[in-house]
Amino acid sequence: MSTRKQQCLPKQPGTVHTEVNPIAALTARDDDHVGFAACRFVADVDDDGVSERVQVMPDGEFRAHDGRPHDVPTGSWLLDSIAYEAILAQLNLRKNEFHFDYEHQTLHADENGQPAPAAGWFSPSGIEYVPGEGLFALDVKWTSRAAQYLRNDEYRYISPVFAYNKQTGRPTKLLHFALTNEPAVDGMKAVAVLKNNSTPKEETTMNEALQLLELLGVTVPEGQSPTAEQYQTAMAACKAMKEKADSVETLGQQLSDANEQVASLKAQGTGSVDLGEYVPRKTYDSLHQEFVALKGENNGLTVDQAIEAAKQEGRILAAEVEYFTDFGKQKGIAALKAQLDARQPVAALTAQHSQVPGSQDKNKQEGNDSELSSEDIAVLKSCGFDEETFKQNKE
């Protein structure tokens, strides 16, 4: 992965000797003082007439199809990391932007007297070297006419003008660039126009989406697209963060309100507590425990009393005493009384509980245990029980 290096100020310009650093203009023409070759490249032109990356020189050894450079022992130019360092040193000395013209008219304006209008511009800091690919100009701003030429496919290729070391063939200084249709070096890439919804923008959007998913704890394997489940996981994480943020905001407001109340109370009095209106917390807790204990005892007593009164009134059978006792302890005296009050008194049961003590024992002694008394028969008729059921429930 490439990194663009920051420039630092090296030695002053004017130290390059023309015998060591001749100039090459990469077009398809030639003359006695300037060597020519051409390079192809890819540069997407967006709707604003800007190309994010424009290849201006290939990496490694390259030469023109006419055999140039003739003055380098290896017979080729060489772009590598050493050459890039030399180029960077010169870039640090430059303040003006680099320009693109048409067909290298900048070189020939003095001879033919024709103007040399610019086709595009980019900053000296906008140079990037990618090993294995080449040298790139970044954020090239094309003129409206040049952008239209590129969109109409009237111009395709770029030709750089640069100085190079005559012994090694390494470029040492970038001068300017031109749009041309006569490339002398095959294998470079043509300028392309960025269409709406094109792949580069989609890739940029996808990369941003993947970065966002990673921040939310969702990792998508390289080369794969996010799945619906991964998006749902990310959405859940977003909702959780929002709920947490809302909770923090609410707690913050509550804390603020509490602080205001404390400040208001401090402003209203000396800060002492009126013991006529308040009691210490310790005293309150002790009294509360005693109250709970007494209430439990009182509830138990009241339940027993209520059941006994219901028995005397003929509202419940002896077999029902245990059930209503548990019911009263569980639901409370109010619920128990509501149940008992809703039952109609049975006269026979009232008479049974009000009979003379010992009379039942007397019947038992006389061997009448299995016989039904008049009271038993009355209960049987009023409740709809058969004889055996009544005997089992009778005391």
Please tell me the predicted confidence (pLDDT) of residue 241.
80
Asked if 175 and 291 sit in the same domain, the reply is no
Distances (CA, A) of 267 to 254, 261, 271: 20, 10, 9
With a cut of 80, say whether residue 77 has pLDDT above it: yes
Asked if 77 and 168 sit in the same domain, the reply is yes
4 domain-assigned: no
Please tell me the predicted confidence (pLDDT) of residue 167.
92
Domain boundary among 174, 196, 218: 196
Please tell me the predicted confidence (pLDDT) of residue 91.
93
pLDDT digits (tens, 9 = 90+) for 78-97: 999 999 999 999 999 999 99
Please tell me the predicted confidence (pLDDT) of residue 127.
94
Please tell me the predicted confidence (pLDDT) of residue 254.
78
Please tell me the predicted confidence (pLDDT) of residue 90.
92
175 within 8 A of 93, measured Cβ to Cβ:
no
Which of 134-148, 230-244, 311-325 shows the lowest mean pLDDT across its residues?
230-244
Percentage of the chain beyond pLDDT 70 is 64
Please tell me the predicted confidence (pLDDT) of residue 130.
94
- The residue behind tokens 């009379």 is 359
Asked if 58 and 175 sit in the same domain, the reply is yes
Domain boundary among 164, 196, 228: 196
Please tell me the predicted confidence (pLDDT) of residue 319.
84
pLDDT higher for 235 or 79?
79
Which of 166-180, 215-229, 356-370 shows the lowest mean pLDDT across its residues?
356-370
- The residue behind tokens 């060591």 is 20
Phi-psi region at 124: left, alpha or beta (left = phi > 0; alpha = psi -120 to 50): alpha
Please tell me the predicted confidence (pLDDT) of residue 195.
33
- How many independent structural domains does the chain possess? 3
Please tell me the predicted confidence (pLDDT) of residue 6.
32
With a cut of 80, say whether residue 354 has pLDDT above it: no
**pLDDT-based confidence at residue 365 (cuts at 50, 70, 90):** very low
pLDDT digits (tens, 9 = 90+) for 180-216: 887 555 555 555 443 333 344 445 566 677 777 777 7
Summarize the confidence of residues 357-377 as an average pLDDT.
Answer: 54
What per-residue string of b and e applies to 59-90 under the rule 16 or more CB within 10 Å gives b? beebbbeeebbeebeeebbbbeeebbebbbbb
Asked if 207 and 124 sit in the same domain, the reply is no
pLDDT digits (tens, 9 = 90+) for 236-291: 888 888 787 777 777 777 777 777 777 777 776 655 656 666 667 777 777 777 66
- The residue behind tokens 């905001």 is 249
Please tell me the predicted confidence (pLDDT) of residue 283.
77
pLDDT digits (tens, 9 = 90+) for 313-332: 888 888 888 898 898 888 88
Asked if 183 and 288 sit in the same domain, the reply is no
Tell me which residue of 181, 197, 177 sits closest to 44, measured CA to CA. 197
274 domain-assigned: no
With a cut of 50, say whether residue 7 has pLDDT above it: no
Asked if 310 and 356 sit in the same domain, the reply is yes
pLDDT higher for 42 or 392?
392
Domain boundary among 196, 211, 231: 196
Summarize the confidence of residues 337-362 as an average pLDDT.
Answer: 66
269 domain-assigned: no
Asked if 227 and 302 sit in the same domain, the reply is no
Please tell me the predicted confidence (pLDDT) of residue 228.
80
Summarize the confidence of residues 303-307 as an average pLDDT.
Answer: 87
Could you list the residue range(s) of the whole structural domain that residue 308 is in?
A: 281-393
pLDDT higher for 12 or 341?
341
5 domain-assigned: no
Asked if 154 and 212 sit in the same domain, the reply is no
Asked if 59 and 43 sit in the same domain, the reply is yes
With a cut of 70, say whether residue 382 has pLDDT above it: no
Q: What is the DSSP string of 171-208?
A: EEEEEEEEEES--SSTT---EEE--TT-HHHHHHHHHH
Asked if 321 and 184 sit in the same domain, the reply is no
276 domain-assigned: no
Asked if 44 and 190 sit in the same domain, the reply is yes
Q: Residue 102 has which token pair?
A: 């048409």
91 domain-assigned: yes
267 domain-assigned: no
Q: Residue 330 has which token pair?
A: 């569980």
**In the predicted model, what is the mean pLDDT of the chain?**
74
Asked if 318 and 301 sit in the same domain, the reply is yes
* CA quadruple 167, 170, 172, 176: dihedral sign: positive
Q: CA 229, CA 220: separation in Å to the nearest integer? A: 11
Please tell me the predicted confidence (pLDDT) of residue 332.
82
9 domain-assigned: no
SS3 279: coil
